[in-house]
Amino acid sequence: MIQISNLKSAKVFYFFEEISKIPRPSFHEKAISEYLVKFAKDRNLDVRVDEVYNVVIKKPATKGYENAPTIAIQGHTDMVCEKNKGVEHDFLNDPIKLIYEGDFIKADRTTLGSDNGIAVAMALAILDSDDISHPSIEAIFTASEESGMEGVSFLDTNDLKSSILLNIDSDEEGIFTVGCAGGVKTNINIPIKYEDTDNNYESYCIGVYGLTGGHSGIDINKGRANSNKLLVRTLNTLSKDIDFSLNKIEGGAKDNAIPREAEAIISIDNKNISLLEQKLKNIEDTYKFEHSNTDPNLSIKIQKVEKQKKSFVKEDFNKLITSIMILPNGVQTVSAEIEGLTESSINLGVVNTNDEGVEIIASIRSAIVSKKELIMEQVQLFINSIGGKIDFRGDYPAWEYNKNSIIREKCINVYKSMYGKEPELQIIHAGLECGLLSQKMPNVDLISFGPNLYDIHTPDEKASISSIDRVWKFLLNLLKEIN
């Protein structure tokens, strides 16, 4: 294992360990904001916090950099909270259990929070330092990015003087992000009526498990299976040959994560169980064949559960199955200008049963506003036609490429001097806060970068220790060159 205490970035890892002790799901950033405020006050740094727990900490320039442009270092404090089935972890109360293994830091079968805890830790390491050369720093810690960028939407930028902003929320070292897609969160409600479950029926849970999942922007073009779509497809296939009723359906955890697991509780006459099990085995074989490259651990399981008293009426069961089968999912268009760039997509991230019916939460993304709006309109027309309700929230703009970016050229030059080669530039399909920040701070010059992070938004998330160290050195060199 790499000896972190010997690394130049040792303080980055120290602060990452500290914030990993603080639960920080989206909309629950009070504790991390209190930590940041105390951190600043303990060091006599200017700090402010707002009512949604965005925090801004300012640090004066070091000697010789008094006349350099003010630099914003920006990242978000919340994290996606996912865990493997059966793992006992309360994201509202429990610290993230860190595991160091070879070149990687990961968590104990939960998401790690390197997205975007690494940005927070790097900013804190700079704010804490007394031996790092840098211009005036405005460290911007935003809340609730993962849920729809509510924090940065609320952020007051009137007192900010930065002309350059470094967003440390990218996850491939040596690739600088210079633009990103916009997006919108979509909440769909399909009303459901209930009837008494047949007294002769027993209840069973059918589950789709073991999918790879991933980020609904970055990984949406990799062809990975969506557990919500597979589960409903399974129910549709079964309904052609077997009589059963549906009691409940649940799948996915976050709209911005490709769902890995989904479960449905059905009620069925026990005389049909053998046929059901055989059908499920055949369906599982089909799915494994279809997704052998993307989801090698896919499985379908069935187990008996407590007898359910209420079931969806047949008409609403059919309506629900039809809806999720028809609703679009995955890549919708690709760019005609930039090879390999996903232009627009939709991810059916969450399905859950509530008192009013079944809720579907989706994330729509596009680099082109009109194509995002087209997907929104198509989904809305369909949901309206079946008597459902739909609500769009958290609409955020795309970050458009700046042909005249000075900080981009500075980053390229620093990278070339360190590694003797050109970095890559990319426009990504994922959403970054840079779109909203460029609207709020129209004169700011933005770029995004970060270390190698893998399988973010999944319990397999891990971060490369050596890459974090290299990106830290790059950041220090970059700050030194901005004078």
**Which residues are tagged catalytic?**
78, 145
Whether the CB-CB separation of 428 and 176 falls below 8 Å is answered with no
Bond prior to 384 in cis (omega within 30° of 0) = no
How far apart (Å, rounded) are the C-alpha atoms in residues 295 and 39? Answer: 43
State the sign of the Cα–Cα–Cα–Cα dihedral 166, 172, 175, 181: negative
From the list 115, 186, 180, 170, the residue with the least C-alpha distance to 329 is 186
How far apart (Å, rounded) are the C-alpha atoms in residues 416 and 18? Answer: 33
Contacts of 285 (CB under 8 A, 6+ apart): none
Left (φ > 0), alpha (ψ -120 to 50) or beta: where does 246 sit?
A: beta
Adjacent-strand bridge partners of 201 = 269
Structure token pair of residue 158: 């009137």
Whether the CB-CB separation of 82 and 455 falls below 8 Å is answered with no
From the list 45, 200, 185, the residue with the least C-alpha distance to 126 is 45
Rounding to the nearest 10 degrees, give the CA dihedral for residues 103, 107, 112, 114: -20
The DSSP-derived string for 300-332 is: EEEEEEPPPSEEE-HHHHHHHHHHHHHS--EEE
Detail the DSSP E strand segments found in 2-68. Answer: 46-49, 55-59
The DSSP element (H or E) to which 372 belongs, if any, is helix 369-385
Report the b/e string of 81-92 with b at 16+ CB within 10 A: bbbbeeeebebe
How far apart (Å, rounded) are the C-alpha atoms in residues 376 and 111? Answer: 30
**Placement of tokens 């010059």 in the chain:** 445
- Give how far Cα 481 sits from Cα of 62, 173, 477, Å: 13, 20, 6
How far apart (Å, rounded) are the C-alpha atoms in residues 201 and 164? Answer: 65
How far apart (Å, rounded) are the C-alpha atoms in residues 23 and 30? Answer: 10
